[in-house]
Amino acid sequence: MPLFPPDDPRLRQYRNSQKTPKRALGNLGWFLFEMIASFLHLLLLVTGLIALLRLITWLLDV
């Protein structure tokens, strides 16, 4: 016995809410974009930490 009859509007609303939005790039393109953005973020973080360490060592040597 189904919870709702097949033509119930609540069921249609539930089905519509489960659909993923279509993106311009598609799911694979969006995934690649997220990966590249994460990589660049980490690269920037590591570069900033290296610059900070070099500044500290330069200040301690002077």
The confidence score (pLDDT) of residue 26 equals: 73
- Kindly tell me the number of DSSP H helices and DSSP E strands found in the chain: 2, 0
Q: What does pLDDT average to over the chain?
A: 83
Q: Examine residue 20 and state whether it is found in any structural domain, yes or no.
A: no
Per residue in 3-32, pLDDT (tens digit) is 767 777 777 776 666 665 555 567 888 889
The Cα–Cα gap between 13 and 7 comes to: 11
Question: How much is the pLDDT for 37?
Answer: 96
Domain that holds residue 62: 26-62
Tell me the pTM.
0.52
pLDDT at 46: 98
User: 48 in a domain, yes or no?
Assistant: yes
Does the residue 21 lie in any domain?
no
Q: For the chain, what is the domain count?
A: 1
